[in-house]
Structure 1
Amino acid sequence: MTLTTIHSILSNTVWMFYLALGLWGLFRAIRKQGVDGGYLGAMVIIQVLVLLQGLMGGYLWLIDGARPGRGG
């Protein structure tokens, strides 16, 4: 599995995780519940995933020469 493939899979994971977090937050707001530790923990996880994605993308762009549209 190449780094480009991992980067692509991680990008899908990130947007799906953000969607789940948004729906979870909406559900909690409708039920008039506050933010709890589980939700904050999920926010930390998504931030780490976004950081990893950015680092991988930066590496691919600078070092590996993989640019968007080049399929590299």
Structure 2
Amino acid sequence: MRLNIKPKVDEKGLNKHQLSKLIQLGYTATCNLYEGKTERIYFDTLENICKVLECSPNDILISDDPKMKKLLAYNKSDTTF
């Protein structure tokens, strides 16, 4: 499983420097997140990203595992609260 925040960041019209300041994370770490080159993330960082990008974790998490892809796709289509 990995993060795919680039489309959401670009959609918001933010650059990596702006994102870094908004999520309160160092520039290098933010670049790694933006480029999908990170293997782990703290929950508070994930929460900050979701707040800034106005999305849920399901909107930015992707997986190559077929079972996880199915679960993530199912949860994205479930809009009941």
Q: TM-score range by the shorter chain?
A: under 0.3
- TM-score using structure 2 length: 0.26
- TM-score using structure 1 length: 0.27
Highest CA radius of gyration, 1 or 2?
1
- Name the one with the larger strand percent: 2
- Name the one with the larger helix percent: 1
